[in-house]
Amino acid sequence: MDNPLLELERSALTRIAAAANIEDLEAVRVETLGRKGALNQVSAGFGKMAPEQRAATGKLLNGVKQNLERAIEQRRAEFESAALRARLDAEWLDLTLPAPGTRAGSLHPVTQLQREIEDLFTSLGFAVLDGPEVETEYNNFDALNIPPDHPARDMQDTFWLEGGYLLRTHTSAVQVRGMGRLKPPMRMIAPGRVFRNESVDASHEHTFYQLEGMMIDREVSVAHLTYFMKTLLTAIFHRDVTVRLRPGFFPFVEPGFELDISCLICGGSGCPVCKQSGWVELLPCGLVNPHVLRMGGIDPTEWNGFAFGLGLTRLAMMRYGIGDIRWLQGGDLRFLNQFGGAAL
C-alpha cells in the first residue's frame, strides 16, 4: 500500500491540474496546504509517532509540500497570464482613428523662406536687424544717395504719408540704421515688409517682402559678393546654382549689378520662364557706394562693403511654383493651409 502522503500528493496534483480557475486552485491550496489542511493534519500526528518514523515522515511531508506549492504557483501563473492576455485583448484600440484635438497650423510660405535665409546668414556671422515699415525720407532715400529731385526716385513709386513720412520702398532703408548700430567690421541682414505704389496684378503687388544684406570690412570685393550670393542661392534651392552679374544702376551701390541665376526650369538651355535666355533676373546688388558709408558714419577710405536686396516674395514664388503674387498677401486658407508641416 502506498504511503497516504503520496496518495494525498497524487490526488492534489490531479486537482491542481484540473482546476478551472483561480478559485478552484485556491480551494485545493486551502485543503492541502492551508492551516487546517491535510498536510498540517499529518504533521499534527507527529507527536504520536516513533522518533525514527517521525523523521522519515517529516522528510516525506516536506517533499510533498514543496511539490504542491510549486505546482500551485505554476498553475496560478498560468491563470494570471491568461487573465492578463484577456484584459489586454479587451483593451484593443483602433489606432487608425484620427487623433482628437487640433492639427498644427502652418507658417506663411514667406515666413518659412525668411527663416531659412536668416538661419543661413546667422551661421555665417550676420546679425538680423529690423527696421520700421513707416520710414523717414532720409533713411529711405537721402542716406542711400538718392537726394530729392533725383530721377532715381522714379525707380520706386512711393507711398507718402502725412507728416512727410513714407512707407519704405525697400529694406535698404535699414542700411543706415544698421551702420549706426553695428560698428565695422559688420555683417547684417534685414528682412521685412516693403511697399510700392503699383497696381496689383498677377505679378505686381504694392506690399511684398524683401531681405537686405550688407557686409562691411577692410577688404570686400566683387568676388566676395559673388561668393555669398552663390552660397545663399545654392542653399535656398538645394542645388548648385550658377550666377552672373551684369551692370545695373542703383545709387547706393557703385558698381551696381543685377544678379541673374541660370534658369532652374530649363537649366539654362532656354524656356518660356527665362524668355529663352537661360537666365532669370533675381536680385540687385553691388559694392556699397562711399557716399552711403559716409552717411552711415563709416570712413570709406578704410572700409568697403557689399549690399544686396533679395525679393523674398519673389523667391517664395519661385520656390513653391506660385504663379500669382496675390495669393501671398491675404488670408485665404485654401492656399495657406498647403504650407503646413513646418510650424517650428
Partner 1 sequence: VKFSYNWLKDYVAGLETPPESLERLITMKTAECEGTPEITLPAQVLEVEPVPGSRYVKARIQTRVYGERTVVCGAPNCRKGMTTLYGPIGKKVIQGVESDGMLLSGFEAGINDDTAGIYEWQPGDPEFIDAIFDIDNKSLTHRPDLWGHFGMAREISAITGKRLVDPVKPSLIPPGESPVRIEIEDQDLCPRYSALVFDNVTIGPSPAWLQYRLTAVGLNPINNIVDLTNFLMAELAQPMHAFDRAKLRGATIFARPAKSGERILALNDIAYDLTPSNLVIADARGPIAIAGVIGGAESAISETTTSIVLESANFQASSVRKTSSALKLRTDASMRFEKAQDPANTTRALARAVELLQELSPGIRLIGGLADAARPLRPIPPVTLDLDWLACKLGRSLEAAEVRAILEALEFGVEPTAPRVFSVRIPSWRATKDIAMAEDLVEEVGRMIGYDSIPPKPPLIAATVPPEDPRRIFLRRIKSAVALQGFTEVSNYSFVSEEQVQKFGLRPEDHVRVLNPIAADQSLMRCSLLPGIFSDIEENSKHFASFRLFEIGNEIHKRGAELPDQITHLAAAVFNREGDGAAGLFELKRLAEILAPGAGVRAVQAKPYEHPARTAEIFWLGEGIGRLFELHPDLAKRAAILDLDLDRVLALRPAQANYQPVRRFPTSAFDLSVVTGLREPAGRVLTTLRAFGGALLLSIEFVRQYTGPPLDEGTQALTFRITVGAADRTLSADEVAEVRTRLTNGLFEKGYGLRG
**Which residues in the 108-147 window bind partner 1 by CB under 8 A?**
108, 110-111, 115, 122, 125-130, 132-136
Q: Is 40 in the site for partner 1 (CB under 8 A)?
A: no
Stretch that binds partner 1, among 31-39, 58-66, 78-86, 327-335 (CB under 8 A): 327-335
Q: Does 240 bind partner 1 (CB under 8 A)?
A: no
Tell me which stretch binds partner 1 (CB under 8 A): 25-33, 54-62, 81-89, 199-207: 199-207
User: What backbone torsions phi and psi does residue 145 show, to the nearest 5 degrees?
Assistant: 70, 30
Cell readout for 236 is: 535656398
Buried b (16+ CB within 10 A) or exposed e, 285-317: bbbbbbebbebbebebeebbbbbbbbbbbbbbb
Which member of 56, 150, 302, 324 binds partner 1 (CB under 8 A)?
Answer: 150
10 contact partners, CB below 8 Å, separation of at least 6: none
Helix axes 4-18, 51-90, angle to 10 degrees: 0
Taking the complex as a whole, how short is the minimal distance between the CB of residue 272 and partner 1, in angstroms? Answer: 15
From the list 11-19, 60-68, 81-89, 248-256, the region that binds partner 1 by CB under 8 A is: 248-256
Query: Segment 166-195, which members bind partner 1 (CB under 8 A)?
Result: 167, 182, 185, 187, 193, 195
Q: Does 206 bind partner 1 (CB under 8 A)?
A: yes
CB 327 to partner 1: min, Å? 10
Site residues for partner 1, window 213-232 (CB under 8 A)?
215, 217, 219-224, 226-227, 230
Smaller CB distance to partner 1: residue 47 or 330? 330
d(CA 262, CA 242): 5
Cα 267 to Cα 274: distance, rounded to the nearest angstrom? 10
Between 37 and 178, whose beta carbon lies closer to partner 1?
Answer: 178
Tell me which stretch binds partner 1 (CB under 8 A): 16-24, 45-53, 74-82, 334-342.
Answer: 334-342
Nearer to partner 1, 78 or 133 (CB): 133
- Strand 279-288 versus strand 304-311 pairing type: antiparallel
Cell 507718402 sits on residue? 160
Site membership for partner 1, residue 107 (CB under 8 A): yes
245 sits near partner 1 (criterion: CB under 8 A): yes
In angstroms, the CA 190 to CA 135 distance is 14
Q: How far apart are CA 235 and CA 243, in angstroms?
A: 13
The single residue among 198, 299, 302, 324 that binds partner 1, judged by CB under 8 A, is: 198
Pairing of strands 279-288, 186-195: unpaired
Scanning residues 78 to 97, which ones bind partner 1 (CB under 8 A)?
none
Minimum distance between the CB of residue 248 and partner 1, rounded to whole angstroms?
7
295 to 324, contacts with partner 1 by CB under 8 A?
304
Q: How far, in Å, CA of 273 to CA of 321, rounded?
A: 11
Say whether residue 39 binds partner 1 (CB under 8 A). Answer: no
Nearest approach, Cβ of residue 127 and partner 1 (Å)? 4
| Of residues 61 and 143, the one with the C-beta less far from partner 1 | 143
Q: Kindly state the helix (H) or strand (E) to which residue 229 belongs, with its residue range.
A: helix 222-237
Taking CB under 8 A as the criterion, the residue among 43, 254, 268, 271 binding partner 1 is 254
CA distance 68 to 2: 18
Burial label, 336 (beta-carbon count in 10 A; 0-12, 13-18, 19+): middle
Nearer to partner 1, 96 or 199 (CB): 199
Cα distance between residue 213 and residue 229, in whole Å: 10
Q: How many residues bind partner 1 (CB under 8 A)?
A: 87
